[in-house]
Structure 1
Amino acid sequence: MKNLFAISIVFVISLMSCNKGKPGTESTNETARKIAIKGKNLSIDSIKVNDSLKIDKNLTIKFQSKILVFPTIKNKSVLDSIYAPKEIRLEEYSKDNLTAALNLKMKEFYDEEKNSLQDFKPEFAQNWEKNSYMNLHSYNNNFLTIQYTVDGYTGGAHGYYFENYKVFDLQNNKTLQLSDIVANQDSKIWDLILMDNFIQNDGDKGQVEMLLVKRIPLNHNFYFDKENLYFLYNQYEITAYAAGTVLIKVPLSDIKLLLTDEFIKRQNL
């Protein structure tokens, strides 16, 4: 479990002594692979940009971002949804277009920071950074799950961190919603299920002692495998900062009566 950082985003960058080099763009094959599922291949590649901006003798800003590329996915609505968390929307999601979009995001970040708070000159050396990543979490039974993370430090006592998941049904060309999995979302039932499994999952992590809420609501930050349905709660959603991210694992066998018939059939439950 990763430690979370509370949000403390204060963009204060001086225009003085600005010495920004040419943006560096790296195409990496660290996630490039082909996965054969029922005779169909899912090709995955990735693009990474990584650069830094020297603002002042005591302040350096770093930007790093990685996105995945899916050359075999052709459905426009699915692709729009895949890149929506990265705030990228294109007519064509080719590798070249995505590379250009990612470089533009980096340029916009630096321009915004330079123009926001121009008079800040730190008295001691600081390295600020903004990092965002897309990672393949899983691909099973034509369900593609992508993990999106954002972390960084931009001044203050500590940094920040977010983790989100989206599931895409490539068999039916759509973004999977919780309602596609859970037919009965009665809060009275799920409050008990989530709290019970939260306590059971806690082990020696001590997250239970840092609970901030009396009930744990269903959220839409979920994914699943053959045995469990998982819900991820980010900083301060249900627990204190020091608790970190909270992942609640719910066995599918325990909630089969609450699931949709289509999901049960698709997963052979």
Structure 2
Amino acid sequence: MKKAILSALMILILFSCADEEKNDEIEILEFKQETVENSYNNCDPENGDCTFISLSYPVAKNDGKISKKINLEVESFLQNTVDFTESDSIQSPRKLVDQFLQNYERTAADFPDYDLPWEATMLGKVIQQNEELVSMEFTTDMFTGGAHGYNSVSYLNFDAETGKLLVVEDLFSSEFIKKAEQDFRVKQNIPEGASINNTGFFFENEKFHLPANIGVYPGKIVLHYNAYEIAPYSAGSFRMTYSRAEISEYLKNKETIEE
């Protein structure tokens, strides 16, 4: 009898521990906005002729695995966008700001007559968050010399349950690309059956592809091609927007987009 009671107690303890571990794995994602910025020799950007950089981006506040994974991806994105020194390791946003100003200082020192100020601003924000997905939008404006600056809109989409950075194949069925191409051809007056590059685009291997940046907003998605991605800089960016109803049948998980 004692052995039976002892066994029952052990089972209850094991189930209790399992429940506690399960509860520990539940991580609530909460985001805050952080801004890191600086200017060269403390100049004032409002007065012009000032080299400065400002990075504003969302940060998952919790210290759990999912939050850390998302924050690491965001920092990696910041570095890949702002830093052109191709560092082997991911730098903190503060380090990126410092490096940007140091790069300008070295350039100005190497070319005494150089008088073009550099500018870099990035604004990132959460545009949708639910139990399935977190979508972020990043708007970037940069000028580091040359004929013109660089402007882009980028999106990062995360699986809210794992922190995994999602790609197109995670969001849509393979049939969606066919619909998107048909719509793109109509919008850009590209005849059916003609090369996708017929009107001046430069899709690789003359094959249509979805953009690298897809934003998931409440009730809609945005397909965004940045300048240089499929056409010359002078052509600008290209954007297609779909309501949830229009693309619902192509979603792998219909809960990713809210009504």
TM-score of the two chains, using structure 2 as the length reference = 0.63
Q: Which residue in the other structure is 1:64 paired with?
A: 54
Q: Find the aligned partners of 1:236 and 1:159 in 2 and give their Cα distance.
A: 12
Amino acid aligned to 1:105: L
| 1:133 counterpart (123, 126, 129) | 123
Q: Find the aligned partners of 1:136 and 1:268 in 2 and give their Cα distance.
A: 14
Amino acid aligned to 2:30: L
Q: Which residue in the other structure is 2:224 paired with?
A: 232
Please list the CA deviations of residues 214-268 of structure 1 after superposition, one character each: whole Å capped at 9, or x if unmatched.
76421231022343321111002234434433221133433444332xx125558
The 5 Å alignment of 1:5-16 reads none
- 5+ residue gaps in structure 2? 1-27, 44-48, 81-90, 190-198
The answer on 1:170 being equivalent to 2:136 is no
The 5 Å alignment of 1:179-258 reads 179-185=169-175, 188-196=178-186, 198-199=187-188, 212-213=201-202, 216-258=208-250
Measured at CA, do residues 173 and 242 of structure 1 come closer, stay the same or move farther in structure 2, by a change above 3 Å?
same
**Which structure's residues are more often helix, by fraction?**
2
Q: Find the aligned partners of 1:268 and 1:163 in 2 and give their Cα distance.
A: 22
Matched residue of 1:127: which SS?
coil
* CA drift at 1:115: 3.3
The 5 Å alignment of 1:70-85 reads 70-72=60-62, 74=64, 75=66, 76-85=68-77
* CA drift at 1:103: 2.6
| 2:105 counterpart (104, 108, 114) | 114
Alpha carbons 1:51, 1:62 under 8 Å: kept = yes
Please list the CA deviations of residues 122-146 of structure 1 after superposition, one character each: whole Å capped at 9, or x if unmatched.
37x5432122332232324552221
Q: Find the aligned partners of 1:232 and 1:133 in 2 and give their Cα distance.
A: 17
Measured at CA, do residues 102 and 225 of structure 1 come closer, stay the same or move farther in structure 2, by a change above 3 Å?
closer
Q: Which residue in the other structure is 1:104 paired with?
A: 95
Amino acid aligned to 2:183: I
Corresponding residue pairs, total:
205
TM-score of the two chains, using structure 1 as the length reference = 0.61
* CA drift at 1:65: 1.9
Matched residue of 2:117: which SS?
strand
Please list the CA deviations of residues 174-223 of structure 1 after superposition, one character each: whole Å capped at 9, or x if unmatched.
22222122121575554213333x459xxxxxxxxx86247642123102
Measured at CA, do residues 73 and 264 of structure 1 come closer, stay the same or move farther in structure 2, by a change above 3 Å?
farther
Q: Which residue in the other structure is 1:16 paired with?
A: none
Q: Which residue in the other structure is 1:49 paired with?
A: 37
Q: Which residue in the other structure is 1:203 paired with?
A: none
- 5+ residue gaps in structure 1? 1-39, 89-99, 201-209
Q: Find the aligned partners of 2:235 and 2:63 in 1 and give their Cα distance.
A: 38
Please list the CA deviations of residues 98-155 of structure 1 after superposition, one character each: whole Å capped at 9, or x if unmatched.
xx933322222222333356331337x5432122332232324552221223322223
**Which structure's residues are more often strand, by fraction?**
1
